Amino acid sequence: MLERLALQLADGCEDTVPTAWQWHARRTYLVDGTTVSTPDTPANQAAWPQPSRSRKPGFPLIRLVC
């Protein structure tokens, strides 16, 4: 129910936005990102290796973008 409500609200807002509010007549999106750490296991290190700039081993980081 919450997902349906959020989508209906977003669609309704998008339909009523004046063209003058758009940037170069384009739609814009809201994007957010974060990271989460995982246990330092061989399997996790294989899936999410350390950044090349990292000098010492540590917990693998997973990057998320929504």
Domain count, the chain: 1
- Which domain, by its residues, includes 33? 2-65
DSSP line for the chain: -HHHHHHHHHHHHHHH--GGGSBTTB------EEEEE----HHHHHHSPPPTT--S----EEEEE-
Span 30-65, pLDDT tens digits: 889 999 888 888 898 888 777 777 666 677 888 899
Comparing 57 with 29, the larger pLDDT belongs to: 29
The pTM of the full predicted model, rounded to 2 decimals, is: 0.43
